[in-house]
Amino acid sequence: MKRGRGIGGEARLLLHRGELEGLRLFSPGLEPDRFLEEGDSLPFGRGREGLSLKVLHTPGHSPGSLVFMVDRGLFVGDLVFSGSIGRTDLPGGSPREMERSLRRIIELEGDFRIFPGHGPETTLSRERVSNPFLRELQVRWPPERS
């Protein structure tokens, strides 16, 4: 385990390979303990058997953006916010990849609680209807539902 600057105790650094360049640029000398990939499952919590986070690779805001799915909850980072989406104009951002990642989230079956990296929590059903970016995307690129 590596000790990060300003972090008390020990913390494992887990990230997608797409974030390695940024890590080395902004935190020289810090190396990840593990790379996360699409479909990985991470045990979560203590004393709660069977609870795990499923990893979804959702590039767009950055090349290594990830969503963590647990039960009916999505920890989405800067992918989507209540009424908005993450920026793609920063280094490594990609509007095309963002659209693909948003479509993956839109097409999930049923409803999910969304916990963004900033701002209030929301729900997927609410964002499908009220988020102007997701609404516009659904018009241009309708979800494929069976």
Q: What is the pTM of this model?
A: 0.86
Asked if 44 and 20 sit in the same domain, the reply is no
Asked if 92 and 135 sit in the same domain, the reply is yes
Containing domain of residue 100, as a range? 38-140
**Which uninterrupted H or E stretch holds 49?**
none
CATH of the domain at 70: 3.60.15.10
pLDDT of residue 10: 77
Listed in order, strand segments (DSSP E) in 58-103 are: 66-70, 73-77, 80-81, 84-85
Is it the case that residue 120 has pLDDT exceeding 50? yes
Please check whether residue 146 lies inside any domain of the structure.
no
Please check whether residue 71 lies inside any domain of the structure.
yes
pLDDT of residue 76: 98
SS3 52: strand
Please check whether residue 145 lies inside any domain of the structure.
no
Asked if 80 and 110 sit in the same domain, the reply is yes
Asked if 53 and 114 sit in the same domain, the reply is yes
Please check whether residue 123 lies inside any domain of the structure.
yes
pLDDT per position as a tens digit, 75-102: 999 999 999 999 999 999 999 999 999 9
pLDDT of residue 5: 57
pLDDT of residue 1: 47
Beta bridge partners of 75: 68, 115
- In the chain, how many domains are there? 2
Asked if 108 and 61 sit in the same domain, the reply is yes
Helices (H), the chain: 20-26, 95-106, 124-130, 132-140
Mean residue pLDDT across the chain: 90
